[in-house]
Structure 1
Amino acid sequence: MIRAFHARFTEVVRMKVAFFSFGACEGCRYRIVNEFAKIATLLEKYGIEIVREPLLGVKTEKNYDVAIIEGAVTSLDVERVKEIRRKAKFLIALGSCAFLGGIATLGYKYGVQADEYLKKGYSLGVPLHQIVKVDGYVRGCPASVDELVNVLEEIAVTGSISKYERRFEYEKQTDLVLDDGFLRLDTGKCIVCGRCIELCSKIYANVLTQAFRGYRVIVTTPAQISFLEAGCIRCGLCAAYCPVAAITYRNDVEAALKTAKNGGRVVIERQAVEAIAKALGIKPGQVIPLLKTLGFSKVEIVNPLSLIDAEKTGIVPYSSAEKRLVEQVFPEASKYLLEYPKLSLDKDTVLVTVCVARKEDHSPVLTVHELVSLARDMLITFKDLPEEQLESKNNDCNVKIAKGPEEVKAAIQDFLSNPRGIVVLQICPGGCAKGSGLHFPILNDY
């Protein structure tokens, strides 16, 4: 379909566009493919032809007017990039790696030496503008398709492109660490992709922002105050989606291993069982033997929703994060708040959960992400794990569950207009099945 779509404009083409990728994960280009409908509308409106994009099956490289480059540039890429620049009237840097250098440039700051990598003749990556003149920048990790559409439309309409100010440089003079024992933000690792800011805004918290200008820009809280003072609800989404671990939440792995060594037990949420199985490529029934292999004496599976009294009337936050959200963003609904489902656990018990906010209620708590990483580090042969029979999956206790920020907002408004029954709030996009404590590949792109 895509090839036919391009062919339709071969006789009326006004502008040709080519995509290239260098030192990057190709996530920016995959986002474009996933949201291709936005690009397709632009192609049809202005007679634009994509002459090179292997992800769309367009592999023949022709002459082009606009070159869009994703990724940082290494020494082996320099001549190729210069050739692309010579052929293109306009060159656009796509995404944080092309814009800032991305993860590859972390080596400059922390002295990373990848011997095998360097033996092959590569250098550590540099931003695109350090090699060639760049006409436009599309920011984000992954890049914003809407911003790309705006840039291409400007070229198609005016035959030129506005002078784009490079407001960010990777090497920053201002490094800041915010650490409240629950969340830690290290701006020295940050690539200023803006993903955490967008997510925080999406869930109505608006805790994170940008400070300073030019090469000094950082992601931080307003006036660099503490997370809680800024209104953080401690959902952990910023840490879950940060591509370079510039934001992290409290790590309980050592405490959990100590508990296991002392014969402690583990309580695991049923959703966490499913998520661990998916992340490790095993069956849910093998998760219990996995936990016992890690040293836990007893494993108990729980469903926090079973703690909810469905006979009551009110708004039930799934965790302390949703409770804070209601109190801070929807204060008019606070009077209807009921207790969130909080497990009563002793100090010799480890909780495994999909929800980072549970770390406020208990210690030690392992998120699915932490448990999966730990299991892989232990070099366990997962396929050899026995399989145990699990009880049938509990239902959601016949209560209404609002999953994600839009549903949460609508559910609160509906309840305020007609206060009856129970509504459970899960603020993470997609609900707790896509919770902030999950292993990153399971999370949908926001």
Structure 2
Amino acid sequence: MHTEDTEEFLLPRSRRANERLHALIPGGAHTYAKGDDQYPEDLAPVISHGRGAHVWDIDGNRYIEYGSGLRSVSLGHAHPRVVEAVRRELDRGSNFVRPSILEVEAAERFLATVPTAEMVKFAKNGSDATTAAVRLARAATGRPRVALCADHPFFSVDDWFIGTTPMSAGIPAATNELTVAFPYGDLAATEELLTRYQDEVACLILEPATHTEPPPGYLAGLRELADRHGCVLIFDEMITGFRWSEAGAQGLYGVVPDLSTFGKALGNGFAVSALAGRRDLMERGGLRHSGDRVFLLSTTHGAETHSLAAAMAVQTTYVEEGVTARLHALGERLAAGVREAAAGMGVGDHVVVRGRASNLVFATLDENLQPSQEYRTLFLRRLLAGGVLAPSFVVSSALDDADIDHTVDVVAQACAVYRKALDAGDPTPWLAGRPVKPVFRRLA
């Protein structure tokens, strides 16, 4: 197991592998959130394999893993039920020149799980689904502008969203001008925006909830605003789908969007996403209407049989095993333990757990209670040395009570060091290198 002393906790094989990754792959990873700049210097593990709630790095260390696969592996790695469903399809072929019967079976299963939607189309990643929703909204309304929630961190790799971030290089200003933003939870500000751009806004797109619950009446108020101003309401349920309820946040809060997008937990690590919504909107991308055709989603690999089989197995497992309730119970146990450990070490105001129990994140605050990348680095170093890989505290259902208890013990040790750094007024001596960096920044 890991030594308590982070000065002796080294990852030489991972460090060399990271050099190889950077030499061949821009950024050293295929997702910016997985980059080694998100981890303390020379302490970015390169993974060998995973099972359940644990992963092993190529240096031979085992970790309890949180935020599994950027929230996609919510049942744990190599889940037997999902793996068996995938294995059944592998010998039967994965991609044909015509639709597989699995495509209709997967659609029926999805629409039974998310009954607020009337049609669904599958893809491989979330960005394609959200961009398809935006295109549908523009086609249906004849309007050019997209209004997105400014308080939500990510919607798509495509220009309409990335142009709003500090990483907007390569995106024309004319494209950026077509995207406007509204604040979460503020209906008056959203109405003012829609009035200012009267008859120009095609859609409102947002995550229905994140680390904060929607204020009472907020989502219903957005629904009414969208109807009154003639724009399409889109819920990005990449994270809330399955973690809030099997039917997503829309099922939990009882507000029906026109379109919604799902991914992440839908495939338990296999590549599958979904665009779902009202029949009259979705059919514009089909063959049974008389209007202009919309090039909706058309992907060579969008309906690979093994990924659709994985999605069906995930949905069955969630329902039969009460997975959403388990995620909430595990998260509540973890949040309570972390808060108690932080308070016990005198840093209860500095190491702060936020969010719904099934989707916990943590903030690391400095002596002035401001977010601090330096203190985050200190905290992550101590977690890693204790065998906890936790860019967030997002749980998977594969965790058990012993995993949670060990995590809380390691957090307590990390908080003891955190207190020392606060008392010293400078975390630098505990960083052993550059601080971790935010994903969205203008310069590398």
TM interval, shorter chain, is under 0.3
- TM-score, length-scaled by structure 2: 0.28
Higher relative contact order by CA 8 Å / sep ≥ 6: 1 or 2?
A: 2
Higher helix proportion: 2
- TM-score, length-scaled by structure 1: 0.28
Rg (Cα) greater in structure: 1
